[in-house]
C-alpha cells in the first residue's frame, strides 16, 4: 500500500512546488516598473568653448563641485559694438571746445577716459586670444604625443602662445599707465566748475558700464554640480564648442526615488492612489515587498524605456508611480515586477 501511495505523493508535491515557482517567478506580472532617481542636466550658460573638464563618467560628485571651465565665444560682437560707440564719442569729444582752463582740464579727462576704455577693450580681446592660444597649445601637445601631428605644429602653437602672452602683458601695462593718469585727473575732478558737455559725460559713463559687463561675461565660466550624485553621461570633450543652454553632463542622484510603471490597454485594473502593490525584484534573491500607489497619470504616454515593453514597436501606457519599499535594496534604473492588487468588492 505504501509503495503504491509514494508515487502519488511525490507527484502531488512536485506539482505543488512547480505551481508555486510558476506563480512567483515564471508567470507574467501585471506590469514592469523602473526604479527612478533624480536626474539633472548641467547646461552651458552661454555659447562657449570647453577649456577643461574636471570630471569623468561614473565619477562621484557633491553639490558645488566644479565640473567644467568654459570660455565664452559670443562676446566679440558686443566688444566690437562698444568700440564703435566709443569711436563716435571720441569724435564728439574732439569737436567739443571750451575757453577756460578748468573746462579744458575736464575735457582732457573725458578724452583720456575714452583712450583708457579703448585700450581696455583691446586688453579684453587680447585675453580672449590668449585663452584660445593656450587651448590650441594643449591640443597640439596631445596630438604630438599621440604621433598624429607633426612637431612643427606644436612649435607654431608655442610661438602663438608666446605672442599672445606678450601682447596681453603689453596691453596690461598700457591700461595701468593710462589708469594712473586718469586717477590723477579724477582726484582733481571735484574742483572742476566747468562742464563742457554733460551728455558726453553721461554717455561715457554708460559706455564704461557696458564695458564692465562685457568684461565680466568674457571671463571663464565654472559649471558646478547642483546635486550629490554620479556622472552618468559626458556629452562633450575638451576643446569642443557648445551652444547656449546645451547640455554638457548628466548627473544622477545616488539614492533612488520611487518606481514608475506603465499599464497597457486594456487596463487589467483601474489604478487609484492608495492601492496595494506587490513589488518583486529581478535579482538572484528574488526579494518581495508590499507598497502602495502614490500617483496615477492623467493620460497615456509613450514608453521610452525599451526594457519596460517587450516589443520593438512603440507602445503607450498609463504611468503609475509606486512608493519605493524601504526594505528592498534597489538601485536607480533597476527593473522590477509590479502586481497591483485590486480591492475586493464589498459584500452587498
98-150 pLDDT, tens digit each: 666 666 777 777 888 888 888 888 888 888 788 778 877 877 887 777 777 77
Phi, psi of 228 (to 5 degrees): -80, 135
Domain ranges of the chain: 30-37+255-341, 42-72+222-249, 76-217
| Closest by CA position to 232, among listed 55, 54, 46 | 55
99-108, 217-226, 281-290, 334-343: lowest mean pLDDT where?
A: 99-108
Q: 30-37+255-341 with 42-72+222-249: one CATH topology?
A: no
The pTM of this model reads 0.55
Residue 80 has pLDDT above 80, yes or no: no
Most distant pair of Cα atoms in the chain: their distance: 136
- pLDDT for res 310: 65
Residue 66 is predicted with a pLDDT of 92
**Cell representation of residue 122:** 583691446
Domain 42-72+222-249, what architecture?
Beta Barrel (2.40)
CA atoms within 13 A of residue 283's CA, in its CB half-sphere: 10
Closest CA to 55 of 338, 302, 248: 248
Give the three cell numbers for residue 27.
508567470
Q: Which residues are CB-contacts of 63 (< 8 A; sequence separation ≥ 6)?
A: 224, 225, 226, 227, 228
How far is Cα of residue 76 from the mean position of the Cα atoms in its chain? 24
Q: 30-37+255-341 — its CATH code?
A: 2.40.30.170
Interval 140-184: pLDDT, tens: 887 777 777 778 888 888 898 899 889 889 988 988 888 888 888
pLDDT-above-70 percentage for the chain: 82
Contact 323, 22 (CB under 8 A): no
Amino acid at each position: 500500500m505504501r509503495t503504491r501511495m509514494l508515487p502519488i505523493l511525490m507527484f502531488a508535491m512536485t506539482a505543488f512546488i512547480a505551481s508555486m515557482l510558476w506563480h512567483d517567478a515564471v508567470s507574467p506580472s501585471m506590469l514592469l516598473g523602473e526604479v527612478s532617481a533624480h536626474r539633472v542636466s548641467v547646461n552651458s550658460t552661454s555659447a562657449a568653448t570647453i577649456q577643461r573638464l574636471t570630471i569623468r563618467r561614473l565619477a562621484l560628485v557633491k553639490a558645488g563641485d566644479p565640473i567644467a571651465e568654459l570660455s565664452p565665444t559670443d562676446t566679440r560682437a558686443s566688444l566690437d559694438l562698444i568700440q564703435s560707440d566709443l569711436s563716435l564719442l571720441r569724435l564728439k569729444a574732439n569737436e567739443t571746445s571750451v575757453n577756460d582752463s578748468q573746462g579744458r582740464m575736464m575735457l582732457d579727462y573725458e578724452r583720456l577716459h575714452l583712450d583708457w576704455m579703448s585700450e581696455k577693450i583691446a586688453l579684453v580681446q587680447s585675453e580672449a586670444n590668449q585663452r584660445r592660444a593656450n587651448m590650441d597649445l594643449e591640443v597640439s601637445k596631445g596630438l604630438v604625443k599621440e604621433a598624429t601631428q607633426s612637431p612643427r605644429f606644436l612649435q607654431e602653437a608655442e610661438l602663438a602662445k608666446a605672442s599672445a602672452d606678450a601682447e596681453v602683458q603689453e596691453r596690461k601695462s598700457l591700461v595701468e599707465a593710462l589708469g594712473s593718469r586718469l586717477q590723477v585727473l579724477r582726484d582733481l575732478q571735484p574742483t572742476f566748475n566747468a562742464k563742457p558737455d554733460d551728455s558726453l559725460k553721461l554717455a561715457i559713463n554708460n559706455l564704461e558700464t557696458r564695458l564692465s559687463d562685457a568684461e565680466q561675461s568674457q571671463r571663464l565660466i565654472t559649471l558646478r554640480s547642483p546635486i550629490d550624485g554620479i556622472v552618468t553621461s559626458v556629452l562633450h570633450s575638451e576643446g569642443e564648442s557648445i551652444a547656449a543652454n546645451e547640455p554638457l553632463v548628466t548627473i544622477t542622484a545616488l539614492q533612488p526615488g520611487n518606481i514608475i510603471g506603465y499599464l497597457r490597454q486594456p487596463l487589467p485594473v483601474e489604478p487609484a492612489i492608495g492601492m496595494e502593490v506587490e513589488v518583486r525584484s529581478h535579482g538572484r534573491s528574488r526579494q518581495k515587498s508590499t507598497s502602495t500607489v502614490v500617483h496615477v497619470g492623467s493620460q497615456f504616454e509613450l514608453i521610452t524605456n525599451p526594457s519596460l515593453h517587450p516589443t520593438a514597436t512603440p507602445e503607450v501606457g498609463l504611468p503609475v508611480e509606486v512608493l519605493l519599499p524601504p526594505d528592498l535594496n534597489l538601485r536607480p534604473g533597476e527593473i522590477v515586477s509590479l502586481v497591483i492588487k485590486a480591492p475586493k468588492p464589498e459584500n452587498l
